[in-house]
Amino acid sequence: MSPTDLAVLSMALFVIGAVCSAVLARDRIRCGYIAFVFVLAAAAAASTAGVRVFLNGPAADAPLLRIADLGASLTVHVDYLSALFLIVVALIATVTTLFSIRYLEAHPQESALRYYPMLLLFFGGVVGVVCTWDMLFFIVFWEFMTLASYFLVVYHRDDAVALRAGLKYFIVTHVATACLIAAVIILYVHGGRSFSFEAMRVGVTNLAVHAPGLLHVVLGLLFVGFATKAGIFPFGDWLPDAYPAAPAPVTAAFSGTMTKLGIYGLVRVFFQFLPVYDTCLVWGAILAAFGTLSIAIGTLTALAQDDSKRLLSFSVVGQMGYILLGVGLGVYFRPLVPALAALAVVGGLFHMVNDACYKSCLFLSAGAVEHRTGTRDLNLIGGLAGLMPLTAVAAIFASLAISGIPPFSGFASKWLLYHAAFMGGKTAPFTLVLGLIAMFVAIATLALFLKFVTITFFGKLRTPDPKRELREVPLSMVLPQGVLAVLCVVFGVAPMLAAKPVYAGIAGMLTGGEIPGFAAVFGSGSAGLALNTGVGIQGAWMPWPILIALAATAALAYVIYRAGDAEVLVSPVWYCGEEHTDEETAYLAHSLYRPFKDMLRVRIGPYETEGIYPRLPRLRAPGFGWLRRLFDFDQWAYYPFIRWGARLVGRFSETHSGIAQLYLLWMVIGTVAAVAVLLWLGGS
Amino acid sequence: MEYLLLATIVLPILGAVFVGLSPGRAAARLALFIALVTAALAIFAGIGSFPGITELKVGTLPWMAELADTDLFGILLDPLSLLMLLVVAVIGFLVVLYSNEYISRRNREHPHENGQARYYFWLLLFVGAMTGVALSPNLLQLFMFWELTTICSWALISHTHEKSALRAGYKALIMTHLGGLGFLIAIIVLYVSVGSVEFSALSLASPALASTLFILFLIAAWAKAAQVPFYTWLPEAMTAPTPISCYLHAAAMVKAGVYLICRLVLANGGLPGNAALVGIIAALVTMAVAVFLYFFQTDLKRLLALSTISQLSYIILGACLGIFGSTLAYKGAVLHIVAHGCAKGLLFLCVGAIAYATGCRRIPDLRGLAAKMPLVAVCFVVGLLGVVGVPPFGTFWSKFYIIAGAFSLPGTLGPLVGVFLLVESMVVFAWLLYVTQRVFFGAASEAAELGADPPWQMSGSLIILAALVIAAPLAALVVVSHLL
């Protein structure tokens, strides 16, 4: 089977699986396993398609369905970029569905009918989005995915907060889709009345030559449309509300697949549709600037959060900012230094792959903790490491990866990003500034995840409900976290494992030779990355020596610790003689970074930001009474007219009084009038 | 095949007479049978003659023999009338099926069973009148069936004989009939000036006359399709039994108005642009007014009526864009007849099921219905997605055609219209989604406690329509590609 067939098969399996799980939804565990089997098969098909493309190159595509009137055809085509996303999607789909099976036990009041079918349709939509080669059907799959995800967000349908979040999510992303539709139709009109990706490229080229102003409008609309889905500040305002509202595995699936598709769209637009023009400079800078803004605002706001999933959600905003920064710098350097462009965009997409792993892992860990303790409030929990050791280890691995600690995966990708920004500073100094901001905010990321990990897993045991039995989550919930945590390490110690496919994904879209080959930029060694943007090797990341050195120093520290055999003193804290319970003196999540949080908060009258995240003030809609009266044609036009007519007729009917003499009088008057008229006519 | 098509007009009208003479429940059963046969005939004969054009001359009236060279009355089936015919016949059948349960004492909103013979008589006559509109070969015959639908809707809106219902029926009759005078005047002037009542006669007239006549036809269509400034009768007509409202909105009456415009644009190439501009501006104003009024509407059914008003504007707008040369927008308009018909029909039937179970239609009183009536909730959401145009549901395709067609026009008018439509779609989507969440999700309110999924006649109609919301526009896509 060709990759195209496999992709179609994968979609079909998701849809069939959705139907089967809907039919068998009564028994939620069985339904979960059936859904998982279908997801596993579909994921196998999708990842096989992806791997085949990397091994044998993309296959020819075949349109499955044509709409001749519109010039649209449902064309499934798997190129290198699609292959990359297919593999990521397959991985995330498998682990999150597996995690869901036991997770749903905690919500017996909600039907599985509204969960698995929607989840599978959602994944089907995601696969459709990354495999289609036609903008109309891209939008169809895109909205279909949004639709399915909306139902997952409002899964807890009695929860007013979830409902409000779902409403906001669907409306905001629907408006974003409208932006996409407008942009795509303009390109369709200027690109020869077709929706194929080739026609989109032609449309962009034509606009660049004949109407550069309109091209900026189109790119702006596409940027807003995709950035909204990617959760980029300020467009992704829905994200911190909708993510915590959804069940944890769904949130993990969103952060691993759907949010990343916003980046997929941007990469398609700015690398495939947009040829190398000066336009790249403008939009590259805009993308990079929004990316940096997102990094700063998302991460710093996350510091102020006490809800584990809300904290992670704001950190999604920050991490998406890093990815967008990479993509933006890549676009910016396309006309200037192709090697730097390759470095930046590979850094960005590599970070995306890593983010899919560690962020999904963190959401699953938060979900596992919630599953056992029944709360997401970090103020109520603590010291769970002893009871949930495996979850703790996975969360720690993922936290280290997201904070960019070598040798975990986040370090490798962030390192590429910083390199691109700093080396680009020679050509364009503003990238240096962006790089510095990104680097310093990364420290806040570390602080953020120190908070998450230490509060949740270390310190004294705290639990909201002491009667609840606390223990490790079952294997089907540990395994998904474990797989993702292992990947956080694998991509850290073997960065070329991810960098090469990412590079192929980008190079496959560009016209031959626009960027130098992989070996020329990233070095040909298999042990690490040696960066060269055309002026000799400027930096190298060799994980193994570092890893060995780290391991050796850690071992040494342990040996010294054991050899010293220092006594650990446990003594009660002295509160000037007063007696305090543990409850009163515990250092809670809320207290962490307090001065920092106060510094960042902005208050203007009743208006207050959350962290440094602006909250929209609540608006009261005006009543528009006068407009309503104006539009009520009945009241001021028809009814008065009818009443006037009725009065007129009423007047007339008064002449029929029933008095014979009066009728006689009318007859006389009538006769006189008739005679007068006749005389007048005859006389003239 | 031609005679089978003819039977889709004759059968329901003759059947109506028999039904009118039958007692009580027998009338309901007989009407169901006749509606089923009509729908089956329409599907069989309609699809059998696709994609060709079928014509049949039946005869004329002695005193009208001079009006045309050939027989005046007959039938004409082309892809446009095929779509209209199928919508009318299939939704007609579903409405009759639904009414079989709805008109009963179990109904908490209208708990009585009286006047069933009368009800089904008018309903079948309505179906016959609408198939007549769909299959009319010229303006004169179209006008006759057109006025017949007005009478049927008058009788059906007033069916309960409550004071408000009588008043609403009377208002509908007067307003649509007055608008219909524009139609009559246009036919007479057309016949006097060019000597023909064919659909294509309009292009024979001088441009100035043609635009005047087109505007007269537009006035008739506006009144019939409840557009500004005539829209006020439609929300008031919501006092009708819900299956009637459903038929009125999804397939009959208001659709006759937009069908006339689609028909005229299809038959006449090169209509004057200024008349089309009038149609476009009126459509945009109607959309703006209707969407504005959404926010103040607390009756679920009336909210749907306002939605119909704005959706019909899409059809008139698409047809008028077709005059400017955008075949894509025109095809979108025709597609919208089908897509909107199924989706809006489904929404009305759902509201009917809610009122049937709870006796309540007020949005603030309804909460958390999804737990009590899951089937209705699913169907309502499907209908909602169909109406607002979320792919892959119903109106996404037709709206996309119209918007893409608008953008394809040279000059600034088209793109401006396209942007307006996108914005309108977003606002409508947001508000309807909000209302849906309020009504179906959350904890159940007092009224919602009574909720339960309806019996099979009603559930069956809901399920079939829900399937059609997804499937019908895709099938119609094939048909519209044979237009023009």
Find the largest Cα–Cα distance for chain B: 69
With an 8 Å Cβ cutoff, are B441 and A171 in contact? no
Q: Closest-CA residue in chain B for A182? A: B419
Alpha-carbon span B463 to B469, nearest angstrom: 10
**Both tokens assigned to A524:** 């040909």
Residue with tokens 């895709």: B474
Cα distance from N-terminal residue to C-terminal residue, chain A:
101
With an 8 Å Cβ cutoff, are B426 and A174 in contact? yes
Residues A340-391 pLDDT 10s: 999 999 999 999 999 999 999 999 999 999 998 888 888 888 888 888 999 9
pLDDT band at A583 (very low <50, low <70, confident <90, very high): low
Whether the CB-CB separation of B348 and B458 falls below 8 Å is answered with no
Q: Please indicate if any CB of chain B lies within 8 Å of the CB of A188.
A: yes
Query: What is the predicted pLDDT for the residue at B260?
Result: 94
Residues of chain A above pLDDT 70, percent = 99
With an 8 Å Cβ cutoff, are A628 and B401 in contact? no
pLDDT band at A611 (very low <50, low <70, confident <90, very high): low
Contacts of B480 in chain A (CB under 8 A): 69
Three-state SS string over B173-237 comes to HHHHHHHHHHHHHHHHHHHHHHCCCEHHHHHHCCHHHHHHHHHHHHHHHHHHCCCCCCCCHHHHH
Contacts of B419 in chain A (CB under 8 A): 182
- To the nearest 10 degrees (0 to 180), the angle between helices A80-103 and A3-23 is 20
Alpha-carbon span B189 to B209, nearest angstrom: 9
Tens digit of pLDDT at every position of chain B (484 positions)? 788 888 999 999 999 999 988 887 888 899 999 999 999 999 998 888 888 888 888 877 777 777 666 778 889 999 999 999 999 999 999 999 999 988 888 888 888 777 888 999 999 999 999 999 999 998 999 999 999 999 999 999 999 888 999 999 999 999 999 989 999 999 999 988 888 888 888 888 888 999 999 999 999 999 999 998 888 899 888 888 999 999 988 888 899 999 999 999 999 887 888 889 999 999 999 999 999 998 888 899 999 999 999 999 999 999 999 999 889 999 999 999 999 999 999 999 999 999 999 988 888 888 888 888 999 999 999 999 999 988 888 789 999 999 999 999 988 888 999 999 999 999 999 999 999 998 998 888 888 888 888 888 899 999 999 999 989 988 998 898 888 7
With an 8 Å Cβ cutoff, are A174 and B429 in contact? yes
Contacts of B332 in chain A (CB under 8 A): none
Query: What is the predicted pLDDT for the residue at B265?
Result: 93
Q: Please indicate if any CB of chain B lies within 8 Å of the CB of A289.
A: no
With an 8 Å Cβ cutoff, are A188 and B477 in contact? no
With an 8 Å Cβ cutoff, are B293 and A638 in contact? no
Contacts of B423 in chain A (CB under 8 A): 178
Q: Closest-CA residue in chain A for B233? A: A634
Residues 6 or more apart whose Cβ sits within 8 Å of residue B420: B284, B287
Taking the CB of residue A399, how many other CB atoms lie within 10 A of it?
29
Number of domains in chain B: 1
Query: What is the predicted pLDDT for the residue at A378?
Result: 87
Query: What is the predicted pLDDT for the residue at A234?
Result: 84
With an 8 Å Cβ cutoff, are B385 and A140 in contact? no
Alpha-carbon span A421 to A417, nearest angstrom: 6
Taking the CB of residue A34, how many other CB atoms lie within 10 A of it?
18
Residue A592 has pLDDT above 90, yes or no: no
Q: Please indicate if any CB of chain A lies within 8 Å of the CB of B437.
A: yes
Alpha-carbon span A229 to A260, nearest angstrom: 8
With an 8 Å Cβ cutoff, are A67 and B430 in contact? no
Alpha-carbon span B411 to A1, nearest angstrom: 48
Query: Which of B302, B437, B482 is the best residue to mutate to test the A interface, defined by the most A CB atoms within 10 Å of its own CB?
Result: B437
Whether the CB-CB separation of A329 and A292 falls below 8 Å is answered with no
- Smallest CA-to-CA distance from A341 within A110, A542, A126, A509 is with A509
CA B100 to chain centre: 21
Contacts of B396 in chain A (CB under 8 A): 140, 143
Cα distance from N-terminal residue to C-terminal residue, chain B:
23
Alpha-carbon span B370 to B381, nearest angstrom: 10
Q: What is the ipTM of this complex?
A: 0.93
Alpha-carbon span A345 to A500, nearest angstrom: 12
Question: Cα-Cα-Cα-Cα dihedral of A207, A211, A214, A219, to 10°?
Answer: 40
Q: Closest-CA residue in chain A for B297? A: A628
Residue A534 has pLDDT above 90, yes or no: no
Facing A628 at nearest CB: one of B232, B296, B407:
B296
Residues B125-154 pLDDT 10s: 999 999 999 999 989 999 999 999 999 999
Facing A160 at nearest CB: one of B425, B433, B442:
B442
**Tally of CA atoms within 13 A in the half-sphere of A327 that contains its CB:** 33
Q: Closest-CA residue in chain B for A184? A: B404
Query: What is the predicted pLDDT for the residue at A252?
Result: 94
Q: Please indicate if any CB of chain A lies within 8 Å of the CB of B296.
A: yes
Residues 6 or more apart whose Cβ sits within 8 Å of residue A140: A128, B391, B392, B396
Q: Please indicate if any CB of chain B lies within 8 Å of the CB of A582.
A: no
Domain encompassing residue B462:
2-480
Q: Nearest CA to CA, how far is A649 from chain B (Å)?
A: 17
Alpha-carbon span A79 to B239, nearest angstrom: 58
Please provide the average confidence, as pLDDT, over all residues in chain A.
89
Residue A71 has pLDDT above 90, yes or no: no
Residue with tokens 């642009």: B273
Residue A666 has pLDDT above 80, yes or no: yes
With an 8 Å Cβ cutoff, are A158 and B368 in contact? yes
Strands A607-608 and A603-604: antiparallel
Q: Nearest CA to CA, how far is A586 from chain B (Å)?
A: 37
**Is the bond leading into B410 cis (omega within 30 degrees of zero)?**
no
CA B146 to chain centre: 13
**Is the bond leading into A407 cis (omega within 30 degrees of zero)?**
yes
Residues A121-134 pLDDT 10s: 999 999 999 999 89
- Smallest CA-to-CA distance from A79 within A36, A132, A150 is with A132
Facing A158 at nearest CB: one of B390, B404, B442:
B442
The β-bridge partners of A608 are A603
Three-class DSSP category at B253: coil
Q: Closest-CA residue in chain A for B444? A: A158
Q: Rounded to whole angstroms, what are the CA distances from B243 to B247, B346, B375, B405, B461?
A: 6, 10, 18, 34, 11
Query: What is the predicted pLDDT for the residue at A105?
Result: 84
Write phi, then psi, for A573 (nearest 5 degrees): -80, 140
Residues of chain A above pLDDT 90, percent = 51
Q: Nearest CA to CA, how far is A92 from chain B (Å)?
A: 25
With an 8 Å Cβ cutoff, are B232 and A638 in contact? yes
The β-bridge partners of A539 are A531
Q: Please indicate if any CB of chain A lies within 8 Å of the CB of B408.
A: yes
- Smallest CA-to-CA distance from B404 within B412, B394, B395, B414 is with B414
Query: What is the predicted pLDDT for the residue at B68?
Result: 66
SS3 content of chain A, % helix, strand, coil (to 5): 70, 5, 25
Q: Nearest CA to CA, how far is B222 from chain A (Å)?
A: 14
- Smallest CA-to-CA distance from A244 within A162, A362, A157, A148 is with A162
Taking the CB of residue A229, how many other CB atoms lie within 10 A of it?
30
Q: Closest-CA residue in chain B for A639? A: B171
Q: Please indicate if any CB of chain A lies within 8 Å of the CB of B403.
A: yes
Taking the CB of residue B110, how many other CB atoms lie within 10 A of it?
22
Residues 6 or more apart whose Cβ sits within 8 Å of residue B117: B19, B20, B21, B22, B23, B24, B27
Residues 6 or more apart whose Cβ sits within 8 Å of residue A511: A275
Write phi, then psi, for A462 (nearest 5 degrees): -130, 140
Rounded to an integer, the average pLDDT of A236-260 is 92
Residues 6 or more apart whose Cβ sits within 8 Å of residue B407: A182, A185, A186, A188, A189, B414, B415, B418
Q: Please indicate if any CB of chain B lies within 8 Å of the CB of A195.
A: no
Q: Nearest CA to CA, how far is B298 from chain A (Å)?
A: 14
Q: Please indicate if any CB of chain A lies within 8 Å of the CB of B363.
A: no
Please provide the average confidence, as pLDDT, over all residues in chain B.
90
With an 8 Å Cβ cutoff, are A181 and B422 in contact? yes
Alpha-carbon span B372 to B365, nearest angstrom: 15
With an 8 Å Cβ cutoff, are A624 and B292 in contact? yes
**Both tokens assigned to A588:** 């809670």
Q: Please indicate if any CB of chain B lies within 8 Å of the CB of A619.
A: no
Alpha-carbon span A472 to A455, nearest angstrom: 17
Alpha-carbon span A96 to A479, nearest angstrom: 10
Rounded to an integer, the average pLDDT of A316-330 is 94
Three-state SS string over B460-479 comes to HHHHHHHHHHHHHHHHHHHH
Q: Rounded to whole angstroms, what are the CA distances from A632 to A635, B233, B235, B293, B398?
A: 6, 11, 11, 10, 30
Alpha-carbon span B12 to B216, nearest angstrom: 31
- Smallest CA-to-CA distance from B24 within B137, B112, B107, B84 is with B112
Q: Closest-CA residue in chain A for B422? A: A178
- This prediction's pTM: 0.93
Query: What is the predicted pLDDT for the residue at A166?
Result: 92
pLDDT band at A117 (very low <50, low <70, confident <90, very high): very high
Query: What is the predicted pLDDT for the residue at A422?
Result: 92
Strands A62-67 and B54-59: unpaired
CB proximity under 8 Å: B 438-457 to A: 441-443
Alpha-carbon span A266 to A327, nearest angstrom: 8
Contacts of B408 in chain A (CB under 8 A): 188-189, 193
Q: Closest-CA residue in chain A for B426? A: A175
